[in-house]
Every structure is written in C-alpha cells, then in structure tokens.
Structure 1
Amino acid sequence: MKISNPVLPGFNADPSMIRVGDTYYIANSTFDWWPGVRLHESKDMVHWNLLPSPLNRISQLDMKGNPSGGGVWAPDLSYADGRFWLVYSNVKIVNGAFKDCANYLVTAEDIHGPWSEPIRINGVGFDASLFHDDDGRKYLVQQTWDFREYHHAFNGITLTEFDTATMQLKPETARTIWQGTDVKLVEGPHLYKIDGWYYLFAAEGGTQYEHQESVARSRTLDADSFEGDPHNPFISNFDTPDTYLQKQGHGALVETPGGEWYYASLCGRPWRHDTESSHGVRGWCTLGRETSIQKVEWDEDGWPYVVGGHAGERYVEAPHDAIVTDAPTGHSQHDEFESDVLDPNWNTLRVPFTDAMGHVGGGALTLRGQGSLSNLFELSLIGRRWQAFDFDAETKVTFNPDNYMQMAGLVNFYNHICWSWAFVTWCEDCGRRVIEVAQNDFDGYTSFLKDKAIAIPDDVESVWLRTKVRTKTYTYEYSFDGEAWHEIPVTLDAAVLSDDYVASHYGGFFTGAFVCLAAVDLAGYGKEAVFDYFDYRETEAE
C-alpha cells in the first residue's frame, strides 16, 4: 500500500499522531471551530476514519467571543498509564503583543470518551505537549510566548514537571531546554526518548512557506542541554518551491509495531493564478493546512531523516505490518437532516449548535437568524471543510423575510472578515423576495447584484442554491424548481478564502475554507430559514 499525501485533506492542521497497540490516532487543531480537536484513527496510515471530538461541552472549552483563528491551537494527544491524555489551548488574542493563552488537560480511558472535565495547567505559551518519561515522571513541553517588545516573542522551549498526585505543574521546575536555531519562531515541541537520547522535535520559521521542523537531542532534561541536528531542517519546503506539498513542518513522530518510523506533519497545497510565479507568490492554500505522513529512518549518528529528502514525498510506502482499514473513499456528503444530531462533518463557530441557532431533524435543518456573518458572539451558521479543489455544493431553502436585514443562504467562508454568499432576502423597492450575492473582503462589503437582484416569483415557495468551486474561482447558481439551474453572473477569486490571503492583514490565518448554511436577522426577530438538504460533491479526485 501507498500513503497518498495529504492523508487528511482540507483544514487538518498541527497533527499529533500516536500509536496504541495496532491503531494510530491523529489529533488536529480546530481553532475557533466547534467541537474542539478533530480526531481520526487508522490501522494502516492510509485510510482514516473520523472519531467523535473530545471537547464537546462548554465546560471543557468556552470560546464565545474568541477572535477568528483563536481557540484550540496544536492539541497534543498521548497515551500512558492506561488512558489517553489530551493537552489543548484556548487562545484569546491573535493580533498584537499578547496571546492570553490558557492550557488545559483532559483524559479518557477510551478514545471515544467520555473525556474528563478540564484541568487548567498554565498559560506560559501555546503548543503544549505532555511527555511521559520511562521513569514515570511527566513533563509539559511548550512554546514560550514573550510579549515584551524588546524580546523575541518566541522565547524558546520550556519544560516543566507535572505532578500526577496533584495533577498540576511544578512551576519551580520550569526551565528552557532549547532556544531553537537561527530560523527562530520555535514552537510545536514534541519530546521522545529513544535509545537513551531525549529527542526534541520542534517547528520553526512560522507556519507559511518558510515553515520547517528541526530536531535537537540531549542525554538529560537539563536547561539548555539540547544540541541541534547538524542536518536541520528535518523537513521543510522552503527551498523546494516546485514540490506538490508545501509548508511541511509542525508534527509528531511515531513508531510502528514492526519498528518502522513515520512523521505526521502539517502541509499545504498551493495553487496559483496564471500570472503568478511559483518562486514568488508560491500560491494560495484554500484548503488550509492539511496533514501529510512521511517515512523516517535514522543515520549512523542517531539522527532522524525523512526518506526522499527533507521536502518529503507525495506517495510514501505504508508500514509493512499495516492492517488494511475500512474507511470512506472521498469526502462527498449528502445530508437529508433526518437525525436530531448534526453529522460529525458539520462544525459551528465557537459554541455548540443550540436552540438559539435553530434545530435539526425530521428531514430539515431550521436556522434561526441571529448576527451577521462577521459576528463573534451570536451566529447561526453550520459549515464543513473544503476538502477538494473542485466541488459542487447545493441546498434547498425556504425563507420568507420581511425586510432586507433578514437573509439566509449558502456561504463560502474563511473567517469573519473574508467570506461570500448567495442568499434570499427582501427588496423593499420591488416589494418581493430576491436573491443577492455579496462578498466581505477584509471587511469591505460588496453587494454584486443591487438593483439587478434576482426576483423570486410569488408562487415559488423554496429556492435552490448551488456553489461551484473550481480551484481558482467559484460561482453561485439558483433554481426555482431544483431542475433548471441558472448561473449568477458573479465570478469570485478563491484566493480570498485562503490562509495566505488572510495572513497579509490578520494574525489568525490558520484554518481553511468552509462551505456553510446560514441565517441572519439583524432586525432581531429571529426569522427562521428551513434547509431541506445539503449536498457536497467532489468533481475531481486529486
């Protein structure tokens, strides 16, 4: 078998991979999307199944009002003492000098849960991981954030002993064990003990095209005792602009039962406009940061290296002892909303789906209009990841607005400042319902149709809406009977929904594009929209 990268396409960043028995698990960042932490499992590293998210209660994760790109950064999954341990953050600030990061710990005997209530452990820095030493002692390893303007913000990797009797850290034991290389921005640490050496894997260079993973090692856990691998970077695409995978770095190491080694890393797959150079702009990652897996071997001096070179490979040999795993092929989704619980592919922003947003079941999703799509507190929106460069997504909506402040429809969304949608609303000038297309581009809001908004006949009860995403651009269509479709004459640049575009003006550029259903009622009357179904269909296999 071959591992085809990325193994987890679409927004699945900062992988923490472990093995328990014959099963591999990956935990990924979710940032401000709910529920918190995305989990997958596999027995062959090729085929992966989505598991229930461990953070599914507000008592575990309160993100109301969090900025876009805040929330859960780089969770760490580990297994020791007969249970799973999960360390995660809740970051409250993404721009400026501060991060206001709180780190928490939950545990479970079964990966499916239930997961415990959280223990708040510290706020020293983000990307915290828990290391279980072979002598029974445990340590928190983390990036250290320095807000002082006369210091570098990434202030090395801090290690602090964790007391299992009190389930708290011992702050007096905290010490910096590695400052990183001259590339700087050292973060995402994971610590392993192999053949008497402590190996520290850490990301550097930021999470864009300069991203890399570096390795250091030490015989002890003393302060400043780690020395860097003379062959660093361990993995990077900074100097390989033409390779299929880009941005590889932040990730985790795992050993198979048969003694092979693999490394799960975040990665990106940029596309470019025809006028752009791959050695200049590099491109736009609308699918966000995804997860790749590379084969690892060790040199005669005991340093790890990526098979095929530090650029990694698109296709990688699967473990020799892999157990073939049954998993869905592709990521297409059709939802008739029969269940009274949302399909696990759906996500909400910051808070769980509640009665304030609406209800689901019996063949319909009802969304109750709340704030605008830029609202960080009250938002009636459900979304699923873009997981292919080319797909169609459609829905049927029944909505009877009374004024222009009431809107409902189909959304393509990156964050609160970059999104677009085709929606049903009310036109007071023509006295009827209409279809409009609008885009929010760094908070510059544009209505494209205006006085040419598409009038909905009075005898039409429901409207069908569709979006066609074709890598570089996307469009919207409508139908009044579900059979005859009409393209709306607005073509939008997909780059606006990419990490790379958002990063040019905003600090929380860590997620990826979503296609969503939403209802807005700025008048405050909670006008409801009823969605009969949702269909997401990939049109090309990557």
Structure 2
Amino acid sequence: MTSITNPILRGFNPDPSIVRVGDDYYVATSTFEWYPGVQIYHSRDLADWQLVARPLRRPAQLDMRGNPDSCGVWAPDLSYADGRFHLTYTDVKRYGRTTRSDRTDVSLRDFHNYWVWCDRIDGEWSDPVHVNSSGFDPALFHDDDGCSWLINMLWDHRPGHKRFAGIVIQQMCLNTGRLLGERHNIFAGSPLGFTEGPHLYKRDGYYHILVAEGGTERNHAVVMARARSLFGPYELHPDGPVLTARDQPGGPLARAGHGDLVETAEGDPWLVYLCGRPLPASDRCILGRETAIQPMRWGEDGWLRTIDGSGRPMASVGSGSVARTLTDDRANFDDPNLPPDFQWLRTPYPDHIFSLTDRPGHLRLFGRESVGSHFTQALVARRQCEWRFSAETQVEFCPANFQQSAGLIHYYNSTKFHYLHITADDTGQPVIQILSVVPDEARPSTTSPAIPIARGPVCLRLDVDHETMRFSYRMADEEAWHEVPGDWDASILSDEATLPYLPNFTGTFVGMACQDMAGTGAVADFDYFHYAERDG
C-alpha cells in the first residue's frame, strides 16, 4: 500500500472533490475569496500532489469584489464525462448579517451555482453557466444510462423553517447546462443536521449518497445513505457516520468531514476529506481546513467503512513512516508571471493591484484600498502550511503620509491579521510599526509604537512558533535584525477565534501588502519573498 502522511494538501485546502481519469487523479478544493478561483491538484499515486490549475481566472468566470470574508467560491465539484472535465461551484455573495448592529436576518443569503467545462484540466475553461441559486455545494452525478444530474443542498430562508432543508436533484443537459424537468428533494439528512456537500455514486444496484454533516467544526462528519431508486427513499448507514473525529478529542486530525470517493483502476475505494490540525495548546487550527485521504472498504453488506471499521481519520497510511517534506522557497520575482503559490483577494483584474514587469525582478504593488477592503486591495500572499515557519521580504517604499503603507502581513481575513508596515508620521518621517486587528469587540485593533527608520530598502521578517509570532526588520545594508518589541498571538488567525456573527472558513496566509488610502497610487517594490518551514 502507498505510504501517505496526512494531510496530503497542507494549509487552506478545504472541501475536496476527487476524480480519476485513466491513471491520473485530480482533486479540486475551495478558494473562497482568494483569486483565481478553485485549486486543482494532480497525482498518480494518491500520495504526491502538484497544483496544476486554477480554472476560474477570467473576469467573465469570477468577480468577487464586494463578497464578504469567507464567501466567494465554495465546494467545487470536479467530474469527467463525455470526454470533458466538468466543474460546478458556488459563488456566495451574501452570508447574512456582517455586524451586530446589522439586524438583517442571517437566513437571507445569496448562493449562485455555476457550471464550467474544459477538454484539458490545465486548459482554458469555459465561461460559466448559471444553473441555480437554491442552495450551495452543487455537484454533478453522471448515471450509467447517460443522464447527468445536478445535486445541491437546499437553503430555506423562511423564519421557523429548517435552514439546511435537504438535498435536491434535477436533470441537467451537459451540452447547454440547462436544467430539465422538476427538482426533487431526495434526502433530508441524519439527526446530525447541517446536511451539505452532496455526492452521488452507483454501485451494485444502489445509489449511494455521501454528505457532510454536523457543521464544519469539531462535530463534522461524513455521512452516507443508499436507495434502489435515484429519488429514494434513502436508508441511513447502520453505523452512523462513515468517518468523523467528533468522538476523538485531542487527535492529530480534527474536524474530519466533507468527503468524496474515488476508485482506483483495481476497484479499491479511497476517501478524500477535509480536516484540521489543531495546535496542542490552544486547540486552534491556524492552518485552516486541509485535505486528507485514506483507503476504505465495501463491507459484505454493501456499506462503505474505514479499513479498521472505526470510522476515524488516519494520520498516516501504509506501513512505512513518511517524513513530511518542509518547504523552503524563495521567490525572486524574475518571471513576468506570479509564482504559483501566491494568490490575491477578490478582484479579477490583477493588473490593477500588482505588476511583475514595471520594475523587472520585483513585485510592484499599487497602493489601493485599506487592508480591510472587500473590493480592491493590493495584497499578494501564500498559504501558511506548518505551525513553525519564517517569512522574509525586502521592500522599497517611500510613503508621503500616514495614509500610505506597505509591508509584511500575516493574514486570515479583514477582521484578523498582524501587519508589519512602513508608513510616515505627520512630519513625513518614515516609520515602521505593527497594526494588529483581532476578533475582539472591546479592542479590535492596536498598533505598536512607531519606530523611525531611514529611507531606502527595508527587510521585514516574521517568525511563527505555534501560537507565538514575532516581527523584526533591518535596513538592506545592515546585517543585524532589530526585533520589534512584543509577542503577537498567531492563534487568532484561525476559524475558531471569531466573533459570533462572522463566517470563518478559510486559513492563514503570509504575504505582502500596500495601501494608499489617499488615492494617489503610491507603489511598493518587493525584491523577494522567502518562506521557510521549520520542524516541530
């Protein structure tokens, strides 16, 4: 058996969908407000995965300007039929109320579901076809009679009704994306509730439905049911959840759920699912929801189970111990294309926020809106994938006033980040300081004392060790680093640290940012970005 260390996709990579085409496996994961939309990975052995595509990369396909935090692209479903790859996804435009003073009912949400296709996984995907907006997590099921069906969870906004109102199905034409006939509510879910993330399979005369339940926190679970007819009635799995970590507190993998099945060429079933690696002290998952995989088995009674029957996630697969390869990557920005590990927020017009050609060998960020903006902000970052790492960059920036800033940011969303930045005081003196924004209604933001610095290129650095983060800086012509006083709480950059009325479904990024809230277009030139993970 292949030796695997979970998670296979580290850092923010939730809601996996998997498909096999010949000897090739592909996994698609959610990207929420990060652009381009959807990450697709490739493997031939289920152990080693490489990013090969981000298919939603044109304005006609995806424009998330104005989308709230943790909205945008949810739960892509990747499938293959009629010689083409098919991708369905949700673009969430409204989650509910965004502040405690906003008394709008949280049940009023906007979920728009789309379908795109492509002949090649790394090709130019089609413009999207809107299929419905009745709920989220759309997926395609291609039946053996040639018919294709769209399934998604049904959202019921009416007061007094069950919000997660079941799984609906409707036939879909793969030539046009048109839905045909009536929709049917085929599965109400189990007592765990929060029924979402549906996938359908057909085996030995049964239709098997797989859903995510229990909410995407510690009670998350993979649940299955089956029926002889596509429209049901569906019988729940006799063992309860097929896979969950809800009864295993303190384990290395938590929050296990939202899965999808694939069969090898030999007919062996494997399950991909999201999980989280909680910090030992705070129990917070600062790396976000990640993707894991493990082998499964079909029992003699025709039900799917884990290999040992426990229903628990496996931290490792196979007999051999596989050491995790730690990343040590330096981006020098010598190429006109952004390195593949980096993404930006919401806008489909990257040339409005950065350039790799205006000053060759540098990433130039154009100062735009505030770091809390949901529209156009110049922030380019990569995922944090381990608990211990360092990040370093060198920036050349000449601020004229306090409304201009640029620097190194440790970012979860617009309400949670730590930002070491260069700005100017009221006399025009360049200074360096930390802006920390945390989910605390009493004291949501703080700044460290401003430290005067000379003009010229400045190197910025952060070091993270589990819950603790420290910033430091030096002028480019200096050798010694100067630590900015104070330890900062890295654990607040997690789903678990939040205000009760905000969605939190993403993960922590580290990167570069630039603002010019005076609207004069100040630029910051970043010479390199070095990200290095450490053991432990």
- Is the TM value for this pair above 0.5? yes
Post-superposition Cα deviations, 1:28-78, rounded to whole Å, max 9, x if no partner, equal: 000010000001000011110111211110101111110111111000000
Q: Which residues of 2 match residues 372-521 of structure 1 at below 5 A?
A: 372-428=370-426, 431-442=428-439, 444-450=443-449, 453-457=450-454, 460-480=455-475, 481=477, 483-502=479-498, 504-521=499-516
Specify the SS of the correspondent of 1:72.
strand
Matching residue of 2:101: none
CA contact (8 A) 1:211 1:237 kept: yes
Q: Structure 1: how far apart are the matches of 2:503 and 2:347?
A: 18
The root-mean-square deviation of aligned C-alpha atoms, in Å, is 1.6
Matching residue of 1:529: 524
Match of 1:188 among 184, 194, 197: 197
Q: 1:166, CA displacement in angstroms? A: 4.0
Q: Which residues of 2 match residues 131-530 of structure 1 at below 5 A?
A: 131-170=141-180, 172-222=181-231, 224-273=232-281, 283-308=283-308, 309-317=310-318, 329-352=325-348, 354-361=350-357, 362-428=360-426, 431-442=428-439, 444-450=443-449, 453-457=450-454, 460-480=455-475, 481=477, 483-502=479-498, 504-530=499-525
CA contact (8 A) 1:434 1:455 kept: yes
The more displaced of 460-469 and 284-293 is: 460-469
Matching residue of 1:67: 68
Specify the SS of the correspondent of 1:410.
strand
Q: 1:446, CA displacement in angstroms? A: 3.5
- What runs of 5+ residues in structure 1 fail to find an aligned partner? 277-282, 320-327
CA contact (8 A) 1:464 1:482 kept: no
Q: Match for 2:327: what amino acid?
A: H
Q: 1:445, CA displacement in angstroms? A: 4.8
Q: 1:93, CA displacement in angstroms? A: 1.1
Give me the TM-score of the superposition, normalised by structure 1: 0.93
Please say if 1:124 is aligned against 2:121: no
Q: 1:353, CA displacement in angstroms? A: 5.3
CA contact (8 A) 2:220 2:255 kept: yes
Identity of aligned residues (%): 42
Matching residue of 1:325: none
The 3 A distance-change label for structure 1 pair 482 and 103 is farther
Q: Structure 2: how far apart are the matches of 1:165 and 1:516?
A: 41
Displaced runs of 4 or more, over 4 A: none
Specify the SS of the correspondent of 1:248.
strand
Q: Match for 2:507: what amino acid?
A: G
Q: Structure 1: how far apart are the matches of 2:157 and 2:329?
A: 44
CA contact (8 A) 1:272 1:472 kept: no
- What runs of 5+ residues in structure 2 fail to find an aligned partner? 97-105
CA contact (8 A) 2:346 2:376 kept: no
Matching residue of 1:279: none
Q: Match for 1:469: what amino acid?
A: V
CA contact (8 A) 1:347 1:383 kept: yes
Specify the SS of the correspondent of 1:355.
helix
Q: 1:114, CA displacement in angstroms? A: 1.4
Q: Structure 1: how far apart are the matches of 2:191 and 2:165?
A: 12
Q: 1:482, CA displacement in angstroms? A: 5.3
Q: Match for 1:307: what amino acid?
A: I
